[in-house]
A and B are shown apart, each in its own frame.
Chain A
């Protein structure tokens, strides 16, 4: 079990009303499950209020980096003490 920091950015930070949290987790899957339980409903509710309906869990509609690396590029799912998850919405418009 590792103590990790989760940092929220831009719109997610505004909607959740906090810029970071800590949690104890064994691996990435565990951390994401805890995040979904603690923040998923609130985030979706805020988005719904703004007229945005998104299906799925936080990881399905967010960009998530572990220590600056996209989760999709990470092979080992184990977490270590002091790891940082960065979470923010995808912005692709111009």
Chain B
């Protein structure tokens, strides 16, 4: 734990390092560069995230978030940096979610996946490349996050989420985001999130269609779609026949990230007690109110 004197020292260093920058709006802002953040992190022996939070609290914007602040504000960016988000699944939806959360400036990511990249992933899983086929997805994801944002810390779990480990894997998350590809794991995540009082951002895709719903502990959830009897839920949908095209994956993942930002930064209303149905081909979005 840092002493008050050390805190004061970091604040002073950040203030002294701030530079003036004229933004898109023509107004001057005090900013701190990536290089300076890294230098202060090293000299003050504090994580880069702490330097950024200290700066934001004084109205000094880390340059990397300049284009975020107009939407989430200084306080919103601080909340994002102070948050932990768990992403369950680092494949199609998951890898785009992870990429965007890192760019948004989430402070800590928990990434859970036990799978390796295969050739059929290359069409949509943005962290898969011809070079890293066969590599564990969580390893590529952690590497990618580090390349994007050195302030975002990552905890990876190279294992399949199950009823036995879900609670320990998800504890501490402010929000859990769904990057899964099967219903049984989603039901485990939903149940665990309810028990831990964590909002769960569910989404799934099939062909050019996607679905999304944010489930708070007191909300209706997946049973409102699939029924309450777990023995009759389908394990997979028509995506096994019509596929998972890249644009649909990116579109739905982006909406999930926006939900996470809305919840954490408090900038918008989450899609609760509704199912959002997206048709990428027709460019339509419908919402259905769900009842209990």
Taking Cβ atoms with an 8 Å cutoff, the residues of A that contact B are 9-11, 13-14, 50-54, 61, 63, 65, 67-73, 86, 88-94
Contacts and interface: CB of A to CB of B under 8 A. Distances in A.
B251 to A, nearest CB: 13
5 closest pairs, A vs B, by CB?
A: A72-B227, A93-B239, A91-B206, A90-B237, A92-B237
A91 B249 CA distance: 12
Interface of B: 89, 91-94, 178-183, 203-211, 223-229, 232, 234-242, 244, 249, 277-279, 281-282, 284, 286, 288-292
Looking at chain B's contact residues, the main secondary structure is mixed
Given A68-B288, A68-B289, A9 B277 contact: yes
A89 B236 CA distance: 11
Contacts of A53: 241
A71 to B, nearest CB: 8
A52 B181 CA distance: 19
Contacts of B281: 14
B242 A52 contact: yes
A92 B206 contact: yes
Contact of B291 (A9, A52, A68, A91): A68
B179 A63 contact: no
B226 A63 contact: yes
A73 B227 CA distance: 5
Contact of B226 (A14, A61, A72): A72
Given A11-B208, A69-B291, A70-B225, A93 B236 contact: yes
B92 A94 contact: yes
Contacts of B241: 50-53
B242 A14 contact: no
Nearest to A63: B225
19 contacts: A10-B277, A11-B238, A50-B242, A54-B238, A61-B238, A65-B224, A65-B288, A68-B288, A70-B224, A70-B227, A72-B228, A72-B232, A73-B223, A90-B238, A91-B238, A92-B206, A93-B204, A93-B244, A94-B203
A27 B83 CA distance: 49
B236 A92 contact: yes
Given A65-B290, A68-B289, A94-B92, A10 B181 contact: no
Contact of A70 (B181, B208, B223, B238): B223
Contacts of A52: 238, 241-242
A11 B241 CA distance: 13
Contacts of B209: 10-11, 88-89, 91
B234 A90 contact: yes
Contacts of B236: 92-93
Contacts of B227: 70-73
Contacts of A67: 291
